[in-house]
Amino acid sequence: MAINNPQQAYQQNKAVTSSPGELTLMLYNGCLKFINLSRNAIEANNVQLRHENLVKAQNIIRELMVTLKTDNELGKSMLAMYDFILSRLVEANTENSVEKLTEAEALVKDFRDTWKEALQIDRKHRHTGK
């Protein structure tokens, strides 16, 4: 099947060629995108669009949860945080709550920013040997 949209082809190729760490960063960014679209839908009183985008954000958090290694305390703590984020996203959807959405967004941003920093440190170490 040929892809006619160059942007779509680029995104598909990027996903196929990215490292696991870069894929995780893409998931965090995607989740934030869907949270933002959900916020816009809440403000526009568009229930269907709010629901569709929050379900997408929830699915990303679920994917992060099932791929997380929980054989140590850090993994267990992250799983608990993901579960909390997921509950906030569900509540934002069922309660039409910008406050719950903002709470989830702040936590996802923290995870994303920390992950991004860890990737940069890893790249630096791999390229400089330090």
Rounded Cα distance, 108 and 97, in Å: 17
- The pLDDT confidence band at residue 55, using thresholds 50, 70 and 90, is very high
The verdict on residue 63 lying in a domain is: yes
pTM, full prediction = 0.83
Query: At 14, which helix (H) or strand (E)?
Result: helix 6-17
The verdict on residue 11 lying in a domain is: no
The verdict on residue 33 lying in a domain is: yes
The verdict on residue 31 lying in a domain is: yes
Which tokens is 83 given?
A: 């579960």
pLDDT exceeds cutoff 60 at 15? no
| Nearest C-alpha neighbor of 43 from the set 92, 106, 110 | 92
| Nearest C-alpha neighbor of 40 from the set 32, 30, 85 | 32
Q: Note the pLDDT tens digit of each residue in 32-41.
A: 999 999 999 9
Contact status, residue 52 vs residue 68, Cβ threshold 8 Å: no
The verdict on residue 3 lying in a domain is: no
| Nearest C-alpha neighbor of 57 from the set 68, 65, 45, 69 | 65
The alpha carbon of 36 is separated from its chain's Cα centroid by a whole number of angstroms, namely: 11
What's the mean pLDDT in 45-64? Answer: 98
The verdict on residue 84 lying in a domain is: yes
Summary mean pLDDT of the chain: 90
The verdict on residue 10 lying in a domain is: no
The verdict on residue 117 lying in a domain is: yes
User: Which CATH number belongs to the domain containing residue 33 in this structure?
Assistant: 1.20.120.340
Q: Note the pLDDT tens digit of each residue in 83-104.
A: 999 999 999 999 999 999 999 9
Report how far apart the first and last C-alpha atoms of the chain are (Å, whole number): 45
Q: Residue 42: give the domain boundaries.
A: 20-128
Q: What is the pLDDT of residue 17?
A: 61
Number of domains in the chain: 1
- The most distant pair of C-alpha atoms in the chain lies apart, rounded to whole Å, by 53
Q: What is the pLDDT of residue 12?
A: 60
Neighbours of 31 (CB within 10 A): 26
